[in-house]
Chain A
Amino acid sequence: MSPARRARAVSRNGIALIIGLVTLFPIFWMVSTAFKPSPEIYSLTPSLLPSHPTLHNFDTVIGGQASGIGPVWMFFRNSLSVTLATVVIASVLSLLASVAVARFRFRLRGSFLIMLLIVQMIPGQALIIALFVDFNKLGLLQNLGGLVIVYAAQALPVSIWMLRNFVATVPRELEEAAAIDGASAPRIFWRVLFPLVMPGLVATSIFSFITAYNEFIVALTFLGQDHSLYTLPIYVTYFFGRGGAQWGPIMAASTLYTVPVLIFFMIVRRRLVGGLVAGAVKG
């Protein structure tokens, strides 16, 4: 390697290292603050790492004293149940629909696909008003089931759009061979198609997971003052809006909200990048 090329490689790696560290820094700072005792948090010379790490902030968040509306686990349970229900419902519905668009030619197929593209662009802020009025009439406002209905429907356009590519790549011959062997349609679906589109389902599930776990405006509007039903983002927002500069506990709560997702994403990383690029839509 010539000296000039070596110098360029070194500077390239140096820049990359800086970019990586700067990108990671805010997350690091959140976790670091969460472990700092109060005097260190407001110290005039902030230190990178807590010099006397403490679990006190986590204690007050887990005990519920800091937010005043309950222990963090309650909001975890709300968020998780809403998210899981959304993932299951959106996966089933979008799988069925994507089989329809990938495997059949029918009238309105093209219009349906274009409708999906347009519908996913409707801003949530435009729908929330009518959804609020409707769900109020249905008595589904202070109700986690109401959130699931909205989230699942909102995840559908992108999920169908992503899944149809996966269904389309499964060779028809496999299904035809199974049919010749006398397998029924449901059996072919479960035994042949389903295992083969599994990677696609994982990718779309990740997408609906993010949609539901991060969703803000619908939960904020629907749940109102019913603290016991708050999902994690609404809990963090309430906590934050309460004031009193409880940055230690707030960062502890944010850490508990964020870190599980980050670990999850590191695990599913490979599949995620492939699936997102295949779908290349909405984040």
Chain B
Amino acid sequence: VADTAQRRPGLRPAPGAGRPLPALPPRARAAAFVRRHKLAPYLLLAPALAGIALVLLWPLAQVVLFSFQNYGLPQLTGAQPTQWVGLANFTATFTDPEFWLSLRNTVAFAVVVVPLTLLLGTAIGLLLNRLGRKMAAFVSGAALLAWATPPTAGAVLFYWLFNPDGGLVDWGLAKLPHWLVGSTNWAQYNWTTTGALQAYTVLTILVLWTSFPFIAVSVLAGLKTVPGELYEAARIDGAGSWGTFRRITYPLLKPIFLVLLLLSVIWDFNVFNQIYLISGFPGNQNEYNLSLYSYDKAFGFPPSYGLGGALALIFTFILLVITVGYVRASVRQGVIA
């Protein structure tokens, strides 16, 4: 690949370019050095790279080290030396039933919520595409507000909606006939402490509410790129709306769906903030997901950064496998030009 800096005088400092070297002022000499060694892109990249390396990459490397050490509070304060403990943190993790419970919660949640989000988001995206301008602006505006609500405020708000004392959901369910909502006494039903299933029901509705807008808007943006003639032709051939979706929309938007699928999986694995609030951390350990469990191990009592590190590593590994899929999908879509 040709070095474009050669062709582009634009980012090369021009002054003093033709003069003899000893006459150059220091600034111009530095500029000439940068030009000669083609350093410009590296200099432009350096500050960002330093930030990423120090705050994202180096900590990740450290976490790997911690996961093989007994790093805890005494080691943090320097009261005791750090020792290598081999795979002890990993064996402790894999033999802890709490770990398997949190893994089960995480996976089950993703398995339920990811398809729900994608289906709901796609359906609303398709709907938005067929609405008149005013109605589309109303629905996408509402979706934007749901998406923009800070997760902490959203979680507190849904906790209040599902609260046993004065919450709207229990009041509404108690009003409904038994044949519809079962014989549970819904008045003052406690969604957050009764069990993991109930807490995750609240979480599911909350996460659906926050994440369908992004899917809907992305699908809508994809739909705008589909040439109208294709639909025209399908209509003339007598295709119904389901047939049109299956034969035209879905194949054309498949790359977008793939990326949205992977992003949703990653987001739903990463849910922390909302479950922290809904489970009332620290409490209701049966409601922890993997990230909350690992946070509890690292910063609970007693804090064990080694154990937390091992868990973070397992968690990152799972996400990395998913990410590889994401990168491959991106490459196939041609976003890495």
Closest to B175 in A: A45
Chain B residues in 8 Å Cβ range of A96:
44-45, 47-48
8 Å CB interface, B39-98 against A: 40-42, 44-45, 47-49, 51-52, 54-60, 62-63, 66, 71, 76
Which of B108-116, B137-145, B178-186, B246-254 interfaces with chain A?
Answer: B137-145
Decide if A247 touches B160 in the complex (CB within 8 Å): yes
Closest to A115 in B: B52
Chain A residues in 8 Å Cβ range of B103:
none
> B78 CB to closest chain A CB, in angstroms?
10
* A247 vs B130: C-alpha distance when bound (angstroms): 40
> B164 CB to closest chain A CB, in angstroms?
10
> A173 CB to closest chain B CB, in angstroms?
10
8 Å CB interface, B132-187 against A: 132, 135-136, 138-139, 141-154, 156-161, 163, 165-166, 168, 171
- Judged by a CB distance under 8 angstroms, whether B221 is at the interface is yes
- Judged by a CB distance under 8 angstroms, whether A118 is at the interface is yes
Main secondary structure of the interface of A (DSSP, over half): helix
Decide if B150 touches A257 in the complex (CB within 8 Å): yes
> A249 CB to closest chain B CB, in angstroms?
12
Choose one: B38, B142, B214, B330; the contact of A20 (CB below 8 Å): B142
* A257 vs B153: C-alpha distance when bound (angstroms): 7
Choose one: B42, B171, B308, B330; the contact of A129 (CB below 8 Å): B308
**Residue interface bits B263-294, CB-to-A below 8 A is 1, else 0:** 10011011011001100100000000001001
Chain A residues in 8 Å Cβ range of B236:
none
* A41 vs B160: C-alpha distance when bound (angstroms): 11
Closest to A176 in B: B10
Interface size on B, residues (CB 8 A): 109
Known pairs A175-B11, A233-B152, A262-B148; A125 contacts B323 (CB<8 A): no
* A205 vs B14: C-alpha distance when bound (angstroms): 32
Interface size on A, residues (CB 8 A): 109
- Judged by a CB distance under 8 angstroms, whether A182 is at the interface is yes
Decide if A99 touches B44 in the complex (CB within 8 Å): yes
Chain B residues in 8 Å Cβ range of A160:
48
Decide if B263 touches A282 in the complex (CB within 8 Å): yes
- Count chain A CB atoms within 10 A of each CB in B45, B71, B146, B305 and give the residue with the most: B45
8 Å CB interface, A104-137 against B: 104-106, 109-110, 112-119, 121-134, 136
Closest to A125 in B: B291
- Judged by a CB distance under 8 angstroms, whether A214 is at the interface is yes
Decide if B272 touches A217 in the complex (CB within 8 Å): yes
Chain A residues in 8 Å Cβ range of B45:
96-97, 100-101, 112
* A56 vs B263: C-alpha distance when bound (angstroms): 42
> B144 CB to closest chain A CB, in angstroms?
6
Chain B residues in 8 Å Cβ range of A61:
none
Chain A residues in 8 Å Cβ range of B136:
16
**Residue interface bits A41-67, CB-to-B below 8 A is 1, else 0:** 111111000000000000000000000
- Judged by a CB distance under 8 angstroms, whether A149 is at the interface is yes
> B169 CB to closest chain A CB, in angstroms?
11
Choose one: B5, B44, B66, B145; the contact of A130 (CB below 8 Å): B66
Decide if B270 touches A153 in the complex (CB within 8 Å): no
Chain A residues in 8 Å Cβ range of B245:
none
Q: A160-B48, A185-B10, A257-B153 are in contact. List 4 more A-B contacts (CB 8 A).
A: A12-B127, A104-B40, A121-B319, A258-B150
Q: Which residues of A contact B (CB under 8 A)?
A: 12-13, 15-17, 19-21, 23-24, 26-27, 29-30, 33, 41-46, 92-94, 96-97, 99-101, 103-106, 109-110, 112-119, 121-134, 136, 149-150, 152-154, 156-157, 160, 172, 175-176, 178-180, 182, 184-185, 188-189, 210, 213-214, 216-217, 221, 232-233, 236-237, 240-241, 245, 247, 250-251, 254, 257-258, 261-262, 265-266, 269, 272-273, 276-277, 280-283
A–B pairs, 12, beta carbons within 8 Å? A19-B127, A99-B11, A109-B41, A121-B266, A121-B319, A121-B326, A179-B8, A182-B14, A184-B14, A232-B150, A269-B144, A277-B218
Report, nearest first, the 4 A-B pairs whose CB atoms are least far apart: A153-B55, A130-B59, A175-B10, A104-B41
